[in-house]
Amino acid sequence: MHYPIKVPGAVAAGIIEVFSPYDGKPIGTVECIDAKGAELALKNLAAVFHDRNNWLPAHERIAILERAALTIQARSEQLITIAIAEGGKPYSDTKVELLRAIDSIKISIDCIRSARGTEIPMQLNPASMNRLAFTHREPIGPVVAVSAFNHPLNLIAHQVAPAIAAGCPVVIKPARETPLSAFALVDIFHQSGLPVAWCQPVMIEDNNVTEQLVTDKRVAFFSFIGSAEIGWMLRSKLAPGTRCALEHGGIAPVIIAEDADLDKILPLMAKGGFYHAGQVCVSVKRIYAHRSIARKVATGLGALAGHMTVGNPAGVGTDIGPLIRHEEVDRVESWVNEAIAENAELITGGKRLSSSLYQPTVLLNPSVQSKVSQQEIFGPVICVYEYDNIDEAIEQANSLPYAFQAAIATQNIDTALYAFKHLAASTVTINDHTAFRVDWMPFAGLRESGYGTGGIPYTFRDMQVEKMAIFHSPSL
Protein backbone atom coordinates (compact mmCIF):
# COMPACT_ATOMS: atom_id res chain seq x y z
CA MET A 1 0.00 0.00 0.00
CA HIS A 2 1.48 3.31 -1.09
CA TYR A 3 0.15 6.87 -0.76
CA PRO A 4 1.71 9.61 -2.87
CA ILE A 5 2.03 13.20 -1.76
CA LYS A 6 -1.35 14.95 -1.42
CA VAL A 7 -0.29 18.62 -1.49
CA PRO A 8 -1.15 20.10 -4.90
CA GLY A 9 1.98 21.46 -6.54
CA ALA A 10 4.43 19.90 -4.07
CA VAL A 11 7.22 17.42 -4.79
CA ALA A 12 7.84 14.41 -2.56
CA ALA A 13 10.83 14.86 -0.24
CA GLY A 14 11.15 11.25 0.82
CA ILE A 15 9.22 8.15 1.79
CA ILE A 16 8.10 7.00 5.23
CA GLU A 17 7.76 3.26 5.71
CA VAL A 18 5.03 1.96 8.00
CA PHE A 19 5.50 -1.26 9.95
CA SER A 20 3.20 -3.48 11.97
CA PRO A 21 3.74 -2.90 15.71
CA TYR A 22 2.87 -6.56 16.29
CA ASP A 23 5.38 -8.38 14.09
CA GLY A 24 7.39 -5.61 12.46
CA LYS A 25 6.33 -6.48 8.92
CA PRO A 26 6.19 -3.61 6.39
CA ILE A 27 2.61 -2.70 5.54
CA GLY A 28 2.83 0.50 3.51
CA THR A 29 4.64 3.66 2.48
CA VAL A 30 3.72 7.35 2.39
CA GLU A 31 5.50 10.18 0.61
CA CYS A 32 6.45 13.08 2.84
CA ILE A 33 6.93 16.81 2.36
CA ASP A 34 9.76 19.17 3.27
CA ALA A 35 9.78 22.91 4.04
CA LYS A 36 8.85 23.79 0.46
CA GLY A 37 5.96 21.34 0.57
CA ALA A 38 4.75 22.80 3.87
CA GLU A 39 4.82 26.29 2.37
CA LEU A 40 2.77 25.09 -0.60
CA ALA A 41 0.25 23.43 1.72
CA LEU A 42 -0.13 26.71 3.62
CA LYS A 43 -0.50 28.67 0.39
CA ASN A 44 -3.22 26.26 -0.75
CA LEU A 45 -5.06 26.69 2.57
CA ALA A 46 -4.83 30.46 2.44
CA ALA A 47 -5.88 30.66 -1.20
CA VAL A 48 -9.07 28.64 -0.89
CA PHE A 49 -10.08 30.38 2.33
CA HIS A 50 -9.49 33.90 1.06
CA ASP A 51 -11.61 33.24 -2.04
CA ARG A 52 -14.86 33.86 -0.22
CA ASN A 53 -16.93 33.66 -3.39
CA ASN A 54 -16.03 29.98 -3.63
CA TRP A 55 -16.48 28.91 -0.03
CA LEU A 56 -18.30 25.59 0.13
CA PRO A 57 -21.98 26.26 0.87
CA ALA A 58 -23.66 24.32 3.66
CA HIS A 59 -25.60 22.01 1.35
CA GLU A 60 -22.38 20.94 -0.41
CA ARG A 61 -20.62 20.28 2.89
CA ILE A 62 -23.57 18.19 4.05
CA ALA A 63 -23.57 16.19 0.80
CA ILE A 64 -19.80 15.57 0.98
CA LEU A 65 -20.01 14.33 4.57
CA GLU A 66 -23.06 12.17 3.84
CA ARG A 67 -21.30 10.49 0.89
CA ALA A 68 -18.15 10.01 2.96
CA ALA A 69 -20.05 8.30 5.77
CA LEU A 70 -21.69 5.91 3.32
CA THR A 71 -18.37 5.12 1.64
CA ILE A 72 -16.61 4.47 4.95
CA GLN A 73 -19.41 2.10 5.90
CA ALA A 74 -19.09 0.29 2.56
CA ARG A 75 -15.31 -0.02 2.94
CA SER A 76 -15.38 -0.77 6.64
CA GLU A 77 -13.51 -4.08 6.56
CA GLN A 78 -10.76 -2.62 4.40
CA LEU A 79 -10.33 0.35 6.75
CA ILE A 80 -10.41 -1.88 9.83
CA THR A 81 -7.68 -4.04 8.33
CA ILE A 82 -5.48 -1.00 7.66
CA ALA A 83 -6.00 0.41 11.16
CA ILE A 84 -5.23 -2.92 12.85
CA ALA A 85 -2.12 -3.45 10.76
CA GLU A 86 -0.57 -0.07 11.58
CA GLY A 87 -2.03 0.65 15.03
CA GLY A 88 -2.28 -2.77 16.66
CA LYS A 89 -5.69 -2.32 18.26
CA PRO A 90 -7.62 -5.62 18.31
CA TYR A 91 -10.29 -6.28 15.72
CA SER A 92 -13.36 -5.92 17.96
CA ASP A 93 -12.19 -2.57 19.33
CA THR A 94 -11.13 -1.27 15.91
CA LYS A 95 -14.56 -2.13 14.55
CA VAL A 96 -16.11 -0.03 17.33
CA GLU A 97 -13.69 2.78 16.46
CA LEU A 98 -14.73 2.71 12.82
CA LEU A 99 -18.40 2.93 13.78
CA ARG A 100 -17.52 5.90 15.98
CA ALA A 101 -15.73 7.57 13.06
CA ILE A 102 -18.89 7.24 10.97
CA ASP A 103 -20.93 8.63 13.85
CA SER A 104 -18.47 11.53 14.20
CA ILE A 105 -19.14 12.47 10.58
CA LYS A 106 -22.90 12.24 11.11
CA ILE A 107 -22.63 14.45 14.22
CA SER A 108 -20.69 16.96 12.11
CA ILE A 109 -23.61 17.02 9.67
CA ASP A 110 -25.97 17.66 12.57
CA CYS A 111 -23.75 20.57 13.61
CA ILE A 112 -24.21 22.19 10.20
CA ARG A 113 -27.97 21.73 10.35
CA SER A 114 -28.27 23.18 13.86
CA ALA A 115 -25.78 26.06 13.58
CA ARG A 116 -27.39 29.42 14.11
CA GLY A 117 -26.69 32.93 15.26
CA THR A 118 -28.64 35.02 17.74
CA GLU A 119 -30.42 38.33 17.81
CA ILE A 120 -28.66 40.96 19.91
CA PRO A 121 -31.21 43.17 21.68
CA MET A 122 -31.31 46.78 20.50
CA GLN A 123 -33.58 49.75 21.20
CA LEU A 124 -32.98 49.28 24.90
CA ASN A 125 -31.61 52.79 25.36
CA PRO A 126 -31.50 55.97 23.26
CA ALA A 127 -28.14 55.06 21.72
CA SER A 128 -29.44 51.77 20.31
CA MET A 129 -32.66 53.09 18.81
CA ASN A 130 -33.50 52.39 15.16
CA ARG A 131 -31.18 49.41 15.07
CA LEU A 132 -31.51 45.66 14.48
CA ALA A 133 -28.57 43.33 15.23
CA PHE A 134 -27.95 39.64 14.79
CA THR A 135 -25.03 37.26 14.52
CA HIS A 136 -24.18 34.36 12.29
CA ARG A 137 -21.23 31.98 12.22
CA GLU A 138 -18.39 31.87 9.73
CA PRO A 139 -15.36 29.56 9.43
CA ILE A 140 -12.43 30.73 11.53
CA GLY A 141 -9.91 30.11 8.74
CA PRO A 142 -7.20 27.62 7.83
CA VAL A 143 -6.79 24.73 10.28
CA VAL A 144 -3.68 22.66 10.95
CA ALA A 145 -4.31 19.44 12.87
CA VAL A 146 -1.71 17.10 14.36
CA SER A 147 -3.01 13.71 15.45
CA ALA A 148 -2.02 10.74 17.63
CA PHE A 149 -1.57 7.05 16.83
CA ASN A 150 -3.99 5.36 19.21
CA HIS A 151 -7.26 5.92 17.32
CA PRO A 152 -6.09 6.27 13.70
CA LEU A 153 -9.61 6.37 12.27
CA ASN A 154 -11.71 8.26 14.77
CA LEU A 155 -9.14 10.89 15.75
CA ILE A 156 -8.79 11.88 12.10
CA ALA A 157 -12.58 12.04 11.82
CA HIS A 158 -12.63 14.18 14.99
CA GLN A 159 -10.27 16.73 13.50
CA VAL A 160 -11.19 16.70 9.79
CA ALA A 161 -14.99 16.28 9.81
CA PRO A 162 -15.69 19.34 12.03
CA ALA A 163 -13.33 21.40 9.88
CA ILE A 164 -15.22 20.41 6.74
CA ALA A 165 -18.53 21.07 8.51
CA ALA A 166 -17.38 24.48 9.72
CA GLY A 167 -16.14 25.43 6.25
CA CYS A 168 -12.44 25.48 7.13
CA PRO A 169 -9.67 24.18 4.85
CA VAL A 170 -7.47 21.82 6.83
CA VAL A 171 -4.03 20.21 6.78
CA ILE A 172 -3.90 17.00 8.81
CA LYS A 173 -0.65 15.45 9.97
CA PRO A 174 -1.25 11.96 11.37
CA ALA A 175 1.12 10.16 13.70
CA ARG A 176 4.34 8.80 12.23
CA GLU A 177 3.27 5.25 13.12
CA THR A 178 -0.28 5.39 11.70
CA PRO A 179 -0.56 7.54 8.56
CA LEU A 180 -2.26 4.97 6.31
CA SER A 181 -5.70 5.25 7.91
CA ALA A 182 -5.60 9.04 7.68
CA PHE A 183 -4.64 9.05 4.01
CA ALA A 184 -7.33 6.45 3.28
CA LEU A 185 -10.00 8.55 5.01
CA VAL A 186 -8.94 11.77 3.29
CA ASP A 187 -9.06 9.97 -0.06
CA ILE A 188 -12.68 9.11 0.74
CA PHE A 189 -13.48 12.75 1.53
CA HIS A 190 -11.93 13.76 -1.80
CA GLN A 191 -13.82 11.04 -3.66
CA SER A 192 -16.99 12.32 -1.96
CA GLY A 193 -16.57 15.72 -3.60
CA LEU A 194 -14.30 17.68 -1.28
CA PRO A 195 -11.81 19.71 -3.37
CA VAL A 196 -8.28 18.44 -2.79
CA ALA A 197 -6.93 21.75 -1.48
CA TRP A 198 -9.59 21.82 1.25
CA CYS A 199 -8.06 18.82 3.01
CA GLN A 200 -4.38 18.01 2.60
CA PRO A 201 -2.93 15.06 4.56
CA VAL A 202 0.82 15.37 5.04
CA MET A 203 3.64 13.32 6.46
CA ILE A 204 6.74 15.10 7.72
CA GLU A 205 10.00 13.57 8.92
CA ASP A 206 11.60 16.82 10.08
CA ASN A 207 10.15 18.24 13.32
CA ASN A 208 11.28 21.70 12.26
CA VAL A 209 8.99 21.47 9.24
CA THR A 210 6.08 20.47 11.46
CA GLU A 211 6.78 23.50 13.63
CA GLN A 212 6.94 25.69 10.50
CA LEU A 213 3.53 24.41 9.43
CA VAL A 214 1.86 24.81 12.83
CA THR A 215 3.24 28.22 13.77
CA ASP A 216 2.67 30.02 10.47
CA LYS A 217 0.68 33.24 10.76
CA ARG A 218 -1.81 32.03 8.13
CA VAL A 219 -3.05 29.31 10.51
CA ALA A 220 -6.23 30.36 12.31
CA PHE A 221 -6.74 27.24 14.42
CA PHE A 222 -4.39 24.53 15.65
CA SER A 223 -5.78 21.16 16.76
CA PHE A 224 -3.38 18.86 18.59
CA ILE A 225 -3.79 15.35 20.00
CA GLY A 226 -0.62 13.87 21.46
CA SER A 227 2.04 14.26 24.14
CA ALA A 228 1.92 17.17 26.56
CA GLU A 229 5.57 18.01 26.02
CA ILE A 230 5.08 18.59 22.29
CA GLY A 231 1.63 20.14 22.54
CA TRP A 232 2.54 22.81 25.08
CA MET A 233 5.78 23.58 23.22
CA LEU A 234 3.93 24.14 19.94
CA ARG A 235 1.26 26.25 21.64
CA SER A 236 3.97 28.52 23.02
CA LYS A 237 5.14 29.21 19.46
CA LEU A 238 1.81 29.85 17.76
CA ALA A 239 1.48 33.03 15.75
CA PRO A 240 -0.46 35.87 17.42
CA GLY A 241 -4.19 35.29 16.95
CA THR A 242 -4.00 31.54 16.29
CA ARG A 243 -6.49 29.73 18.49
CA CYS A 244 -5.93 26.14 19.57
CA ALA A 245 -7.18 23.03 21.30
CA LEU A 246 -4.78 20.56 22.92
CA GLU A 247 -5.62 17.03 24.03
CA HIS A 248 -2.90 15.36 26.09
CA GLY A 249 -2.75 12.44 28.48
CA GLY A 250 -3.79 11.77 32.03
CA ILE A 251 -3.48 9.24 34.83
CA ALA A 252 -7.16 8.61 35.36
CA PRO A 253 -8.14 7.98 39.01
CA VAL A 254 -10.99 5.79 40.21
CA ILE A 255 -12.30 5.64 43.77
CA ILE A 256 -13.98 2.38 44.77
CA ALA A 257 -15.97 2.79 47.98
CA GLU A 258 -16.54 -0.06 50.42
CA ASP A 259 -20.17 -0.43 49.28
CA ALA A 260 -19.36 -0.73 45.55
CA ASP A 261 -20.82 -3.64 43.58
CA LEU A 262 -17.54 -5.31 42.64
CA ASP A 263 -19.17 -7.92 40.42
CA LYS A 264 -20.36 -5.13 38.15
CA ILE A 265 -17.55 -2.63 38.50
CA LEU A 266 -14.43 -4.79 38.18
CA PRO A 267 -15.08 -5.96 34.59
CA LEU A 268 -15.57 -2.32 33.64
CA MET A 269 -12.29 -1.35 35.33
CA ALA A 270 -10.44 -4.15 33.56
CA LYS A 271 -11.80 -3.05 30.20
CA GLY A 272 -11.07 0.60 30.93
CA GLY A 273 -7.51 -0.16 32.00
CA PHE A 274 -6.42 -2.76 29.46
CA TYR A 275 -8.31 -1.54 26.38
CA HIS A 276 -5.82 -0.98 23.53
CA ALA A 277 -3.04 -2.17 25.87
CA GLY A 278 -3.66 0.87 28.08
CA GLN A 279 -2.70 3.29 25.31
CA VAL A 280 -5.61 5.66 25.86
CA CYS A 281 -5.41 9.09 27.50
CA VAL A 282 -8.21 8.31 29.96
CA SER A 283 -7.38 4.64 30.67
CA VAL A 284 -8.01 3.44 34.22
CA LYS A 285 -4.58 3.71 35.82
CA ARG A 286 -5.01 4.54 39.52
CA ILE A 287 -7.68 2.80 41.59
CA TYR A 288 -8.13 3.96 45.18
CA ALA A 289 -10.03 1.17 46.95
CA HIS A 290 -11.20 1.22 50.56
CA ARG A 291 -8.84 -0.77 52.75
CA SER A 292 -11.54 -3.34 53.52
CA ILE A 293 -11.84 -4.32 49.85
CA ALA A 294 -8.55 -3.23 48.25
CA ARG A 295 -7.02 -6.70 48.05
CA LYS A 296 -10.26 -8.12 46.73
CA VAL A 297 -10.29 -5.42 44.04
CA ALA A 298 -6.67 -6.14 43.07
CA THR A 299 -7.06 -9.92 42.96
CA GLY A 300 -10.37 -9.61 41.10
CA LEU A 301 -8.74 -7.45 38.45
CA GLY A 302 -5.85 -9.91 38.33
CA ALA A 303 -8.22 -12.78 37.67
CA LEU A 304 -9.92 -10.86 34.87
CA ALA A 305 -6.54 -9.97 33.38
CA GLY A 306 -5.51 -13.61 33.46
CA HIS A 307 -8.43 -14.54 31.20
CA MET A 308 -7.58 -11.96 28.55
CA THR A 309 -6.02 -13.08 25.30
CA VAL A 310 -2.87 -11.16 24.39
CA GLY A 311 -1.57 -11.53 20.87
CA ASN A 312 -2.22 -10.86 17.20
CA PRO A 313 -4.61 -7.90 16.98
CA ALA A 314 -6.12 -9.29 13.79
CA GLY A 315 -7.42 -12.29 15.71
CA VAL A 316 -11.14 -12.05 16.42
CA GLY A 317 -10.67 -13.30 19.99
CA THR A 318 -7.74 -11.07 20.91
CA ASP A 319 -8.34 -8.71 23.84
CA ILE A 320 -4.96 -6.98 24.04
CA GLY A 321 -2.59 -6.31 21.17
CA PRO A 322 0.89 -4.82 20.96
CA LEU A 323 2.24 -1.55 22.23
CA ILE A 324 2.91 0.85 19.39
CA ARG A 325 6.73 0.60 19.56
CA HIS A 326 9.13 -1.97 20.97
CA GLU A 327 10.82 0.67 23.12
CA GLU A 328 7.47 1.26 24.81
CA VAL A 329 7.52 -2.37 25.98
CA ASP A 330 11.01 -1.75 27.36
CA ARG A 331 9.79 1.34 29.20
CA VAL A 332 6.68 -0.32 30.67
CA GLU A 333 8.77 -3.28 31.82
CA SER A 334 11.28 -0.92 33.45
CA TRP A 335 8.61 1.09 35.28
CA VAL A 336 6.88 -2.05 36.62
CA ASN A 337 10.16 -3.58 37.77
CA GLU A 338 11.06 -0.32 39.47
CA ALA A 339 7.68 -0.21 41.25
CA ILE A 340 8.15 -3.79 42.49
CA ALA A 341 11.63 -2.91 43.75
CA GLU A 342 9.99 -0.02 45.61
CA ASN A 343 7.68 -2.49 47.42
CA ALA A 344 4.65 -2.68 45.13
CA GLU A 345 3.00 -6.10 45.29
CA LEU A 346 2.69 -7.80 41.91
CA ILE A 347 -0.76 -9.36 41.72
CA THR A 348 -0.56 -10.54 38.12
CA GLY A 349 1.41 -9.97 34.92
CA GLY A 350 4.63 -8.05 35.12
CA LYS A 351 6.31 -9.74 32.17
CA ARG A 352 6.83 -9.10 28.49
CA LEU A 353 5.52 -11.77 26.17
CA SER A 354 7.52 -10.65 23.14
CA SER A 355 9.25 -7.58 21.80
CA SER A 356 5.80 -6.02 21.20
CA LEU A 357 3.49 -7.58 23.81
CA TYR A 358 3.26 -7.02 27.56
CA GLN A 359 1.06 -8.90 30.00
CA PRO A 360 -1.88 -7.06 31.55
CA THR A 361 -0.51 -6.19 34.97
CA VAL A 362 -2.02 -5.32 38.35
CA LEU A 363 0.06 -3.78 41.16
CA LEU A 364 -1.11 -3.33 44.74
CA ASN A 365 0.07 -0.38 46.82
CA PRO A 366 2.95 0.95 44.73
CA SER A 367 4.87 3.81 46.30
CA VAL A 368 3.28 7.15 45.54
CA GLN A 369 6.75 8.21 44.37
CA SER A 370 7.09 5.42 41.80
CA LYS A 371 6.85 6.34 38.12
CA VAL A 372 3.70 4.22 37.79
CA SER A 373 2.07 6.51 40.38
CA GLN A 374 3.41 9.82 39.10
CA GLN A 375 3.39 9.55 35.31
CA GLU A 376 1.19 8.21 32.54
CA ILE A 377 2.45 4.68 31.86
CA PHE A 378 0.44 4.34 28.62
CA GLY A 379 0.59 0.57 28.89
CA PRO A 380 -1.54 -2.32 30.24
CA VAL A 381 -0.91 -1.62 33.93
CA ILE A 382 -3.44 -0.85 36.68
CA CYS A 383 -2.34 0.24 40.16
CA VAL A 384 -4.54 -0.31 43.23
CA TYR A 385 -4.02 1.75 46.38
CA GLU A 386 -5.63 1.35 49.80
CA TYR A 387 -7.38 4.23 51.52
CA ASP A 388 -9.12 4.63 54.88
CA ASN A 389 -11.37 7.63 54.23
CA ILE A 390 -12.64 9.18 51.03
CA ASP A 391 -10.95 12.51 51.59
CA GLU A 392 -7.60 10.72 51.63
CA ALA A 393 -8.47 9.04 48.33
CA ILE A 394 -9.61 12.32 46.76
CA GLU A 395 -6.44 14.07 47.90
CA GLN A 396 -4.30 11.41 46.24
CA ALA A 397 -6.47 11.41 43.10
CA ASN A 398 -6.05 15.19 42.80
CA SER A 399 -2.34 15.27 43.68
CA LEU A 400 -0.91 15.14 40.16
CA PRO A 401 -0.63 17.96 37.61
CA TYR A 402 -3.02 16.10 35.28
CA ALA A 403 -6.80 16.21 35.28
CA PHE A 404 -9.06 14.61 32.71
CA GLN A 405 -11.71 11.99 33.45
CA ALA A 406 -12.19 10.35 36.86
CA ALA A 407 -14.66 7.89 38.38
CA ILE A 408 -16.36 6.88 41.61
CA ALA A 409 -17.88 3.44 42.30
CA THR A 410 -20.47 3.43 45.08
CA GLN A 411 -24.09 2.54 45.81
CA ASN A 412 -24.53 5.68 47.94
CA ILE A 413 -25.78 8.78 46.15
CA ASP A 414 -24.22 11.08 48.74
CA THR A 415 -20.80 9.46 48.28
CA ALA A 416 -21.15 9.81 44.51
CA LEU A 417 -22.09 13.47 44.72
CA TYR A 418 -19.32 14.19 47.23
CA ALA A 419 -16.74 12.66 44.89
CA PHE A 420 -18.22 14.51 41.91
CA LYS A 421 -17.86 17.80 43.75
CA HIS A 422 -14.32 17.26 45.03
CA LEU A 423 -12.52 15.32 42.27
CA ALA A 424 -10.39 17.54 40.00
CA ALA A 425 -11.63 16.36 36.61
CA SER A 426 -13.59 17.59 33.62
CA THR A 427 -15.78 14.48 33.79
CA VAL A 428 -16.63 12.18 36.69
CA THR A 429 -18.32 8.91 35.82
CA ILE A 430 -20.35 7.12 38.48
CA ASN A 431 -20.18 3.32 38.49
CA ASP A 432 -18.35 3.27 35.17
CA HIS A 433 -14.76 3.34 33.98
CA THR A 434 -12.87 6.50 33.10
CA ALA A 435 -12.46 5.67 29.41
CA PHE A 436 -16.15 6.04 28.59
CA ARG A 437 -16.79 8.47 25.77
CA VAL A 438 -19.36 9.27 23.12
CA ASP A 439 -18.44 11.69 20.40
CA TRP A 440 -21.03 14.39 21.01
CA MET A 441 -20.05 14.94 24.64
CA PRO A 442 -17.40 17.43 25.87
CA PHE A 443 -13.96 15.87 26.31
CA ALA A 444 -11.47 18.15 28.00
CA GLY A 445 -8.09 17.78 29.62
CA LEU A 446 -7.47 20.20 32.47
CA ARG A 447 -4.22 21.38 34.05
CA GLU A 448 -1.37 19.79 32.06
CA SER A 449 -3.78 17.35 30.38
CA GLY A 450 -4.92 19.79 27.75
CA TYR A 451 -6.44 23.08 26.68
CA GLY A 452 -9.91 23.68 25.31
CA THR A 453 -12.70 21.18 24.83
CA GLY A 454 -12.92 18.32 22.36
CA GLY A 455 -16.00 16.51 21.12
CA ILE A 456 -17.49 17.12 17.68
CA PRO A 457 -19.91 19.99 18.51
CA TYR A 458 -17.27 21.76 20.61
CA THR A 459 -14.56 21.44 17.96
CA PHE A 460 -17.03 22.60 15.32
CA ARG A 461 -17.79 25.68 17.42
CA ASP A 462 -14.09 26.38 18.00
CA MET A 463 -13.52 26.36 14.26
CA GLN A 464 -16.01 29.18 13.71
CA VAL A 465 -16.26 32.85 14.61
CA GLU A 466 -19.42 34.77 15.35
CA LYS A 467 -19.94 37.81 13.13
CA MET A 468 -22.50 40.49 13.91
CA ALA A 469 -24.53 42.63 11.52
CA ILE A 470 -26.11 45.86 12.78
CA PHE A 471 -28.79 47.55 10.65
CA HIS A 472 -29.48 51.22 11.25
CA SER A 473 -32.70 52.47 9.75
CA PRO A 474 -35.29 55.09 10.63
CA SER A 475 -37.91 52.45 9.74
CA LEU A 476 -36.93 50.36 12.77
Which residues participate in catalysis according to the annotation?
247, 281
For the four alpha carbons of 431, 436, 438 and 441, in that order, the dihedral sign comes to positive
Query: Residue 308's Cα: distance from chain center in Å?
Result: 25
First and final CA of the chain: distance in angstroms? 64
CA distance linking residue 37 with residue 300, whole number of Å: 54
- 130: alpha, beta or left? (left if phi > 0; alpha if psi -120 to 50): left
Provide the residue type at 145 as one letter: A
Backbone dihedral angles phi then psi of residue 332, each to the nearest 5 degrees? -60, -45
